């Protein structure tokens, strides 16, 4: 399984989310079996995107 926490740490450190990052997050979500902590991490990314604190790059 993908290290979700490391991916999200990188996203927040750079304040950017790449298409590759998006793909990793989607795979994690679709594989299922996410812990409540993992769900909270994904919610943080969604909220940051919604609030404009992250930039989507290719």
pTM: 0.85
The pLDDT value recorded for residue 51 is 97
> pLDDT tens digits, residue range 1-58?
468 899 999 999 999 999 999 999 998 888 887 889 999 999 999 999 999 999 999 8
Half-sphere exposure (CA, 13 Å, Cβ side) for 43?
7
DSSP-derived 3-state class of residue 8 = helix
The pLDDT value recorded for residue 33 is 79
As a dihedral over the C-alpha atoms of residue 55, residue 21, residue 50, residue 8, rounded to 10 degrees, the angle is: -100
The pLDDT value recorded for residue 2 is 62
Domain boundaries, the chain: 4-57
């Amino acid at each position: 399984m993908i290290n979700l926490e490391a991916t999200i740490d990188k996203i927040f450190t750079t304040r950017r989310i790449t298409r590759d990052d998006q793909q990793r997050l989607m795979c994690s979500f679709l594989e299922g079996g996410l812990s409540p902590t993992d769900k909270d991490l994904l919610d943080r990314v969604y909220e940051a995107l919604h609030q404009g604190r992250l930039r989507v790059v290719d």
